[in-house]
Structure 1
Amino acid sequence: MTTDVTSAARNSMRRLHRMAEPDVLKPMLNDARILPESRPRIERMARDLIEDIRTAESESWINQFLQEYQLSSAEGIALMSLAEAYLRVPDARTADRLIADKLGDGKWRTHEGRSKSRIVNSATWGLVLGRALTVEGPGTPLKRLLARTSEPFVRQAVGAAMKVMGEVFVMGRTIEEALKRMRKPVHRGFTASFDMLGEAAQTQADADAFYDSYWDAIQKIGRDEGTDHTISIKLSALHPRYEVPQYERCVPEITDRLAQLCAEAMHQNVAVTVDAEEADRLEMSLDIIGNIAKRPEFRDWNRFGLAIQAYSKRARAVIQWANSLDRHMNVRLVKGAYWDTEIKHAQVEGLSDFPVFTRKAATDVCYLACVSDMLKAENIGCGFATHNALTVATILDWAGDRRDFEFQRLHGMGEGLYERLVRDEGYHCRIYAPVGGHRELLAYLVRRLLENGANSSFVNQLSNDAYDDDDLLKDPVEKVEAVNCTRLPGIALPQNIFGEWQNSQGIDLNDRKILLETAHGVNSIEFTPEGGDAVHADPHHPSGRSRAAIEASRTPDADVHDAVTRAQAAYPEWDSRSIEERAIILERWADLLEENRIELMGLVVKEAFRSIPDALSEVREAADFCRYYAVRARKDLSLKELPGPTGEYNALKMEGRGTWATVSPWNFPLAIFTGQNAAALVCGNTVVAKPAPQTPAIARRVVDLAHQAGVPEDALALVTGGADVGAEMMSDQRIAGVAFTGSTATAKKIAQTLLVGEDRPIIPFIAETGGVNAMIVDSTALPEQVATDVLNSAFRSAGQRCSALRLLVLQEDNADEMIHMLSGAMDMLQIGDPGDPATDVGPVIDRAAYDKLMAYRETMRPRWIKTVEVPEDEGLFVPPTMISIDEIEDLNTEWFGPIVHVATWKAGQLEDTIARINAKRFGLTMGLHSRIARNADILRSQARVGNAYVNRSMIGAVVGSQPFGGEGLSGTGPKAGGPHYLPRFCAERAVSIDTTSAGGNASLLSLDDGM
């Protein structure tokens, strides 16, 4: 094969990645089609295989357990959640709460005695008893007797059950144990591909430990004489920053580590397969795999390969690529394990389409088309991983007399499907066999249960009485043709997830080519700060920038008094326009924001020092505000007739109040600036808008686009400058309302100013301010997820978000473990130029902020848990720092930068912990990481904050989904991006008309039927 074919395959991947589902599917239908003449033969084979599976299932308690507790039931979900979290809980008190939480809502008695398996029925009895002891409490004499030992009894029983499930799905706790288990008679004729369990590396220590475990396993597999076991390697385990923005850093390092493992595997004659992971990592993984495949020392080594996911629209192109490398490559074809993640990610990021098929039948079609390609390929060793009897029968028929391929199945699943084929007919089957301790199996186990418990899976349908064999054996090609290959209608495309308004457009920054093009465009935007070189010589390293210099250098665009005068003059005409006309202008404004997004992103990066992803989020949020408020205006501002007696007309109308003053911050210089002004304008008000003195250029361009969209120039007037300009705006008694986002101290000053003057009307004041935002973590939380969410919440945007995490409150039982992981993850942060795609943390906004944060940080030096040092002369980079405090009450100030404080709390004191945080009187955001649903209920009912987040980061509120704004010292409400925001900008005016005075009570008389 030539490099031209390789390049063509990569180009094809790019074209297919987000292509519409029908356009991807239709060209593969003929290659996946079962021909009429072979259909009876394939169906007979498939029915025989189904009988083999059912026979094995009748002897397998675990399959009957999964059938009894399907994921479509509340009990199945509860057990999955319990399995995911229980074994990592270190303290008995939390373990008991977790058990009670998961068993509490289930109707376990409805499962009693239903299974054919005595083991399953015994397990059900244990769950019924466990619920009685932990949830219902002692009542009968028997319960009172058992209650004395109920907690340790139930704890031990649940722990034992989790370990039994682990043994079913995991081959061994160590590679030695797994190899020994593979020698048992039940596995006669089968070989294994061992997978060393664990989630992706979060720290360098994690990556080193994974590397060592792979190396050790390769050596021990190689020494296991008379076997042909292999190993599967996850690239995400070899580097803690296996991400596209970190390409230049991670790809060479992973290539080097993988090469070392492959050299040892070649020496030990052990085959290596690189596992498939999320779609974002595919192109990166192919670069790494290609690097290994082309190395001279591995040129003739035929025991190297990769896994390919058939749910990916790019699957066939990846096979073409593997076949084009001019060497033998082994391919394991799988259906795919991250389907729900891929769907949600595309929707959240506002991408054009999904990288995966939305219908299970479409994935089956793609799988068969890939089988056809692989069987025809010259350089591919074929491995077909499937639990679907129809798929297996089809492969057997298409392969004919060939035996130069293998089937693969998961350990703990698919028993009975391959035993006869292996032992009686000479086919080869390899078991994908996880290896690891009980704690490491959790995420893997849940993923397996999700895959095989899904209603659309063959395993689930086989054991479901609602499906007969004819249903199971329907041709997937016929299924997708019946719906014209279309996407599953219940899954909205990313742009349509909000229904009434269009989701903002994202950029696929996990596509390296797109990322580099975007970064080039952003960094090419010309930007000259107001005030010139004396203020701000290098926007990437603003070491000389200070608040005083900025404010001194800026001359207001227009006199505030003149701007208010012009806005007031423009008000009658603008307010008289229809709601629909103003809404259309907002939607046009959103379109223009997106059309000019690279320019706007460049301004945000260079003037506000936000990273490229943060700059994109700014543009998207601004567009979302415009479209959402346009929709809400049509709903909320239209004339509403009200009830009353016959002969009376009553109505309520919402109209503009006059001229509003808006003051926006530098930390969201595009999104908040746009949102405040769009809301005021669509309600019929005119606006005098003042951006932060640090970010006037962004505001100026946004106002230009508003005028292009149709907002009259005088209806949206811009004034720039510092505190003196803001004070003049607030003191102008012609202002009809104020919308402000900034510090609590400034908000209080504005509130006082608005009350000065006996003749001044009482006007609305909308304030969004900051907070001492806390995240509570209990011992059921997954440390890897906590680490990711803490780093995002505390350090993204250099901690300069009003919603950023300031106080991390860890349960003392596992605080050390969490801190250890967080410290290692902090070491991986990239600090530098915000225009560099690899940058995680950029500079703070100006010298005043830098000096304040650095001075505070220095006073807390004895309390440092972890800090990430940066060169002192490189700019205004405040090192991300984790600081210990003794008590929650020790932090009552918002430190607006990359600093997070850590305190602890005791198990069983969640309510008290929340109350102590509430007592600070800040009420912006609060987070919780817990697998106990009742803990989430407690947070929801007791946290006095505008936004509560559970098991996710605390930043990135989405317009229309997560309306944003606080209470207490954190703001006045209403919440921006929510359904109650626009009415605050309006005057509500009711009208009542006595219609009898105009012509008698005609409406009543007309009802007379003449009797």
Structure 2
Amino acid sequence: MSTPTSDMSTPEYEESLLYDTCLVDGEWRGADDGRTFAVTDPATGEVIASVPLMSTAETETAIRAAEAAFGPWRTRTAKDRAAILSRWAAQLLEHREQLARLLTREQGKPLAEARGEIAYAASFLTFYAAEGERVRGEVIPAPAQESRIVVLRQPIGVVGCITPWNLPAAMVTRKAAPALAAGCTVVMKPAEQTPLSALAIAALGRRAGVPPGVLNVITGDAPSIGRTLCDSPAVRLLSFTGSTEVGRLLAAQCAPTVKKLSLELGGNAPFLVFPDADLDAAVDAAVLSKFRHSGQTCVCTNRFLVHDDLYPEFTERFADRVGKLTVGRGDQQGVDVGPLIDQDGLAKAAAHVADAVAQGAEVLVGGGRHREGGTFFEPTVLRGVTPGMRVMREETFGPVAAVASFRTEREAVDLANDSRSGLAGYVFTRDLARAWRVTEALEVGMVGLNTGFLSVETAPFGGVKESGLGREGSHHGIEEFLELKFWHIGGLSSPDAAATS
């Protein structure tokens, strides 16, 4: 069987690997029964690799490996763990081009975005290499002279991680880096659509010195693997990024073992444009926030809410910009928007447009499947949408922009908060007082004020309401992987010692 470390130094790296093995306990192995499943290029439908179709038994093996590795890994010094993470980051950057091309082939996004994602993935390793050395406890004033109260922060244990297909490299390190820095060990399942990036990153981690069993990556049957991670009492935390529907299911399955949950779930991001906004900046940010990664991120804007005074000009300029976006394969020069991940994504985008048009919305640009065929969808702008339309109620997760209008600040905030999700929001205004009022009133975990960009490794990423639990990134992110232990120490002094002091 091939290992994903072979031929990594060549420009043809992502073309030459078979990926018929997964990393378990430091070894590259296939499914117990030898079964595999195909990974396809969403731009062409071509099969580009086969990976192991693992299930319950292999997951249990990976959990046992992580459990055995936990003791030795947690007792390593933070400085030692940091050195390994730093070398891992350097490996990602050294192989950035090969990894980016591999990512584009399995996920479809333009190569420029893929390169940016690899750099983003490396940034988590670099950040948590340093953050792991800053984990510390505290001493609390005790109720008696002979006592002391100490609080320790200790690694939670074995962590199960389930990563999504839309950011198949960055989500691996956003979870693994803080977990390993804290002293935890990991069993990771990447999305079935995009497992190759995770396997390649794991191979580079082994090259950087990640010990056997500390990081295990398995591919295969999602329900079986997920259920095994949830059921196992050895797994003390489950970290999942994906849909709210699956997040609810995993939370229920984790209840019997009362394990900690970190859930980064779906969004329905509003983008508010007030009458005093910088219109040029708002239009630029609208294009970035909606159409990067073909609209397939949880923080992509789903609902544009524009003040009546700016509504005609904003929609006209926005539609003009969107109509000039180039659609095509991610490895082609100058492409702005790649394919959707699969036929389900394509069908959802088409259904949202059809529902909006049936209820009176106007298509300003796009509106249907792209002439490229396959899973390509035209970048679309809809005007005249109303709150009851599916495109306003559900996360589209595709290149469809729905633009509605509002008259007052209160109306804008109410429309923005009219959602069961609360991940991200965007506000454009030059009024400082309004910026404070609206930002504080929005029921979301993250706000972009006069910017369409949010994701950075130094900031806490996560949402409220049905958008999840916990935070990833920043110093808050490592806290998800730590437990507090209270230590009350008595008998530290005696009457005789006090009398002679």
Superposition TM-score tier, normalisation by shorter sequence: 0.7 to 0.9
Report SS of the residue matched to 2:413.
helix
Listed as ranges, the matches of 1:302-341 within 5 Å are none
Q: Which residue of 1 aligns with 2:173?
A: 674
1:641 maps onto 2:139 in alignment: yes
Instruction: Give 2:375's match in structure 1, choosing from 851, 855, 876.
Output: 876
Listed as ranges, the matches of 1:405-554 within 5 Å are 525-526=14-15, 539=41, 541-543=43-45, 554=52
Contact 2:39/2:106 (<8 A) preserved:
no
Question: Which residue type is aligned with residue 239 of structure 2?
Answer: A
Post-superposition shift, 1:978?
2.1
Instruction: Give 1:657's match in structure 2, choosing from 151, 156, 161.
Output: 156
The 3 A distance-change label for structure 1 pair 980 and 889 is farther
Distance in structure 1 (CA, Å) of the matches to 2:94 and 2:324: 35
Question: Could you say which structure has the higher helix fraction?
Answer: 1
The 3 A distance-change label for structure 1 pair 625 and 602 is same
Distance in structure 2 (CA, Å) of the matches to 1:787 and 1:581: 47
Post-superposition shift, 1:937?
1.1
Contact 1:529/1:697 (<8 A) preserved:
no
Contact 2:274/2:306 (<8 A) preserved:
yes
Post-superposition shift, 1:886?
4.2
Instruction: Give 1:685's match in structure 2, choosing from 178, 184, 197.
Output: 184
Contact 1:657/1:985 (<8 A) preserved:
yes
Question: Which residue type is aligned with residue 315 of structure 2?
Answer: I
Q: Which residue of 1 aligns with 2:127?
A: 628
Question: Which residue type is aligned with residue 893 of structure 1?
Answer: E
Q: Which residue of 2 aligns with 1:807?
A: 303
Post-superposition shift, 1:533?
13
Report the TM-score when normalising by structure 2. 0.87
Question: Greater CA radius of gyration, 1 or 2?
Answer: 1
Q: Which residue of 2 aligns with 1:117?
A: none
Contact 2:178/2:481 (<8 A) preserved:
yes
- RMSD of aligned Cα (Å): 2.7
Q: Which residue of 2 aligns with 1:323?
A: none
The 3 A distance-change label for structure 1 pair 852 and 542 is farther
Listed as ranges, the matches of 1:287-306 within 5 Å are none
Instruction: Give 1:979's match in structure 2, choosing from 457, 475, 479.
Output: 475
Contact 1:523/1:602 (<8 A) preserved:
no
Distance in structure 2 (CA, Å) of the matches to 1:940 and 1:860: 29
Report SS of the residue matched to 1:996.
coil
Distance in structure 2 (CA, Å) of the matches to 1:996 and 1:881: 71
Report SS of the residue matched to 2:474.
coil
Distance in structure 1 (CA, Å) of the matches to 2:283 and 2:64: 52
Post-superposition shift, 1:822?
1.0
Q: Percent identity?
A: 26
Q: Which residue of 1 aligns with 2:397?
A: 896
Q: Which residue of 1 aligns with 2:249?
A: 749
Post-superposition shift, 1:692?
0.6
Contact 2:381/2:403 (<8 A) preserved:
yes
Listed as ranges, the matches of 1:906-945 within 5 Å are 906=407, 909-945=408-444
Contact 1:536/1:542 (<8 A) preserved:
no
Contact 1:647/1:1001 (<8 A) preserved:
no
Post-superposition shift, 1:703?
1.1
Q: Which residue of 2 aligns with 1:737?
A: 237
Post-superposition shift, 1:740?
0.6
Listed as ranges, the matches of 1:385-424 within 5 Å are none
Instruction: Give 1:600's match in structure 2, choosing from 83, 99, 124.
Output: 99
Contact 2:238/2:261 (<8 A) preserved:
yes
Contact 2:37/2:52 (<8 A) preserved:
no
Distance in structure 1 (CA, Å) of the matches to 2:371 and 2:333: 22
Distance in structure 1 (CA, Å) of the matches to 2:324 and 2:272: 24
Post-superposition shift, 1:581?
1.7
Report SS of the residue matched to 1:714.
coil
The CA deviation string for residues 429-448 of structure 1, in whole angstroms up to 9 with x for no partner, is xxxxxxxxxxxxxxxxxxxx
1:969 maps onto 2:466 in alignment: yes
Listed as ranges, the matches of 1:969-1008 within 5 Å are 969-973=466-470, 975-996=471-492, 1002=497, 1004=498, 1008=501
Q: Which residue of 2 aligns with 1:775?
A: 271
1:857 maps onto 2:344 in alignment: no
Question: Which residue type is aligned with residue 255 of structure 2?
Answer: L
Post-superposition shift, 1:608?
1.3
Post-superposition shift, 1:613?
2.3
Post-superposition shift, 1:836?
2.1
Post-superposition shift, 1:730?
1.7
Question: Which residue type is aligned with residue 488 of structure 2?
Answer: S
The CA deviation string for residues 296-326 of structure 1, in whole angstroms up to 9 with x for no partner, is xxxxxxxxxxxxxxxxxxxxxxxxxxxxxxx
Q: Which residue of 2 aligns with 1:958?
A: 456
The CA deviation string for residues 584-617 of structure 1, in whole angstroms up to 9 with x for no partner, is 2222221221122112111111111122221122
Post-superposition shift, 1:554?
4.5
Report SS of the residue matched to 1:755.
helix
Question: Which residue type is aligned with residue 966 of structure 1?
Answer: G
The 3 A distance-change label for structure 1 pair 745 and 931 is same
Distance in structure 1 (CA, Å) of the matches to 2:107 and 2:370: 21
Question: Which residue type is aligned with residue 678 of structure 1?
Answer: A
Report SS of the residue matched to 1:687.
strand
Question: Which residue type is aligned with residue 801 of structure 1?
Answer: T
Q: Which residue of 2 aligns with 1:831?
A: 327
Q: Which residue of 1 aligns with 2:3?
A: none
The 3 A distance-change label for structure 1 pair 542 and 864 is farther
Contact 1:529/1:536 (<8 A) preserved:
no
Post-superposition shift, 1:1000?
6.0
Q: Which residue of 1 aligns with 2:25?
A: none
Post-superposition shift, 1:577?
1.3
Distance in structure 2 (CA, Å) of the matches to 1:786 and 1:527: 43
Distance in structure 1 (CA, Å) of the matches to 2:402 and 2:417: 17
Post-superposition shift, 1:969?
1.0
The CA deviation string for residues 315-373 of structure 1, in whole angstroms up to 9 with x for no partner, is xxxxxxxxxxxxxxxxxxxxxxxxxxxxxxxxxxxxxxxxxxxxxxxxxxxxxxxxxxx
Contact 2:339/2:377 (<8 A) preserved:
yes
Instruction: Give 1:579's match in structure 2, choosing from 56, 78, 95.
Output: 78
Structure 2 gap segments, 5+ residues each = 1-9, 21-34
Report SS of the residue matched to 1:831.
coil
Contact 1:831/1:870 (<8 A) preserved:
no
Q: Which residue of 2 aligns with 1:559?
A: 58
Instruction: Give 1:795's match in structure 2, choosing from 291, 296, 311.
Output: 291
Report SS of the residue matched to 2:301.
coil
Q: Which residue of 1 aligns with 2:90?
A: 591
1:697 maps onto 2:196 in alignment: yes
Question: Which residue type is aligned with residue 901 of structure 1?
Answer: A
Distance in structure 2 (CA, Å) of the matches to 1:776 and 1:981: 28
Q: Which residue of 2 aligns with 1:947?
A: 446
Post-superposition shift, 1:528?
6.0
Q: Which residue of 1 aligns with 2:4?
A: none
Post-superposition shift, 1:540?
7.0
Post-superposition shift, 1:748?
0.2
1:817 maps onto 2:306 in alignment: no
Report SS of the residue matched to 1:604.
helix
Q: Which residue of 2 aligns with 1:436?
A: none
Post-superposition shift, 1:963?
2.3
Post-superposition shift, 1:814?
2.1
The 3 A distance-change label for structure 1 pair 819 and 983 is same
Report SS of the residue matched to 1:914.
helix
Distance in structure 2 (CA, Å) of the matches to 1:529 and 1:744: 33
Instruction: Give 1:569's match in structure 2, choosing from 65, 68, 75.
Output: 68
Distance in structure 2 (CA, Å) of the matches to 1:984 and 1:742: 18
Distance in structure 2 (CA, Å) of the matches to 1:661 and 1:833: 33
The 3 A distance-change label for structure 1 pair 710 and 717 is same
Question: Which residue type is aligned with residue 737 of structure 1?
Answer: L
The CA deviation string for residues 769-794 of structure 1, in whole angstroms up to 9 with x for no partner, is 12110101122223322221111111
Question: Which residue type is aligned with residue 900 of structure 1?
Answer: A
Report SS of the residue matched to 1:836.
coil
Question: Could you say which structure has the higher strand fraction?
Answer: 2
**Which protein, 1 or 2, shows the higher relative CO under an 8 Å CA cutoff with sep ≥ 6?**
2
Distance in structure 1 (CA, Å) of the matches to 2:88 and 2:109: 23
Post-superposition shift, 1:804?
0.2
